[in-house]
Structure 1
């Protein structure tokens, strides 16, 4: 199920994005980027529609994915 980012409370959305960007395997290239910058990059992708939030009813988990990977 796709969850519109605008329907998520701001604090919850920030926590969701922070959890996503801090996962093992999330790669941002060779240069170090701060957590705050990573969060803002992902937030910008959600706002632009490049990324979406998926919720799995069977597992109860949310994930942020690139829209072109659907």
Structure 2
């Protein structure tokens, strides 16, 4: 289920983006990028609808996924 990011508390959304950006294996290219910059990039992608916040009822978890890979 897609969760509209605009309806998520600002602090909660920021924490979710920080958690996602700090995961092992998240690739931001050849140069080291600060966590704040990674979060800013994710915020832009949310606004551009390139990524989505989704909730899995099956796993009772929330995640961020590329919009083109999301299927309900």
Shorter-chain TM-score category?
Answer: over 0.9
Deviates more, 1:3-12 or 1:50-59: 50-59
5+ long unaligned stretches in structure 1: none
Q: 2:26: which partner in 1?
A: 26
Could you tell me how far apart the structure 1 residues matched to 2:39 and 2:60 are? 22
TM-score w.r.t. the length of structure 1 is 0.95
5+ long unaligned stretches in structure 2: none
What is the Cα deviation at residue 14 of structure 1?
0.2
TM-score w.r.t. the length of structure 2 is 0.92
Could you tell me how far apart the structure 1 residues matched to 2:67 and 2:16 are? 17
**Number of residue equivalences:** 70
Once superposed, what is the RMSD of the aligned Cα atoms? 0.7
What is the Cα deviation at residue 45 of structure 1?
0.5
